[in-house]
Structure 1
Amino acid sequence: MATIKSLNKWANARSYYIIDIIRIALGVVLFIKGVQFINDFNLLSELFTPLEKIFGGMLLIHLVIPAHLIGGLLLVFGLLTRWAVIVQIPLLIGAVLINITGEMVTSNLILASVTLLLTIFFLFFGSGKHSVDYYLKMQK
């Protein structure tokens, strides 16, 4: 707990608008990706064909969409940022692995890799000073 408090103090002392804009853009990208998966569910199910034989493979397919939608919205507002990012990291690792082991689409690989790196950054950095988390913390 002390580590998280020290990370929050460090992040709040160095909170710049550009980092908030990047956090909001990351949330928008995740939300849009969730909407794309809703519109083209066949694409998502094709990506997960190797996991169909695994127990819970269909459950994973149905968890990706709400995780992207809800996680994207939470990141946009800066609410529960670290929790939203923790949920996204395994999905993004899977996206990178699917792009590497399956059909290689370089634009998807670059998008998944950059998104993964940004989520890891926000796992440590937090939501920053211009977020709902910071506002709620200051209200106490």
Structure 2
Amino acid sequence: MNMMDRIEHWGDTHHPAWMDIVRIALGVFLFAKGISFISDTAKLSHLVTGLDFHLYTVTAVHYVAFAHIFGGFLIAMGCLTRVASVIQIPILLTAVFFVNIRMGFSYLNSELWLSMITLMLVVTFSIIGSGRFSMDEWMKNHDK
């Protein structure tokens, strides 16, 4: 049993039912954030161009919006939760350490705190998985 299998097994055995509500709320939040990015691409473009990563701004904007919309939907449904969570991690790391921290580390910077909490939740769900009330669990039980 390799390390990933042990982490997956531990996450599946130590997943309380109330975490499913948190997972669904996180997925809905990410989905809504992706929709807001699509509806206001100018604001997201402005955030990405200020990073100086030498990325194509249009590509980065579409990647962030696509990952939030489809990743949020998958997380909310509990389908491929670990994969969808891992895809969110680079976006949220960038949001925490490069975008929102420039505005200051204070209680008034709510976007920073929201990004940090979302990052912690995404890392948590990439470890513990989707839980009992999810499409993954339903497919595993109905596959037999």
* TM-score normalised by length of structure 2: 0.86
Superposed, 1:1-140 pairs within 5 Å as 2-51=2-51, 54-96=54-96, 97-101=98-102, 103-104=103-104, 106-138=109-141, 139-140=143-144
Deviations 1:52-73 (A, max 9, x none): 7714332111111111000000
Once residues 52 and 58 of structure 1 are traced to their aligned partners in structure 2, the CA distance between those partners, rounded to angstroms, is 14
Alpha-carbon offset, residue 51 of structure 1: 4.5
Unaligned runs of 5+ in 1: none
Provide the aligned length of Structure 1 versus Structure 2.
Answer: 139
1:22 aligned partner, one-letter code: V
1:37-60 CA-to-partner distances (Å, cap 9, x unmatched) read 122221111111225771433211
Aligned pair in 2 of structure 1 residues 2, 40: CA closer, same or farther (>3 Å)? same
After the TM superposition, which of the residue ranges 59-68 and 130-139 deviates more from structure 2? 130-139
Q: Which runs of 5+ in 2 are unaligned?
A: none
Tell me the amino acid that sits aligned with residue 43 of structure 2: L
Query: Aligned with 1:94: secondary structure?
Result: helix
Scaled by the length of structure 1, the TM-score of the pair is: 0.88
Moved over 4 A (4+): none
Identity of matched residues, %: 40
8 A contact 2:8–2:128 mirrored in 1:
yes
User: RMSD between aligned alpha carbons?
Assistant: 1.9
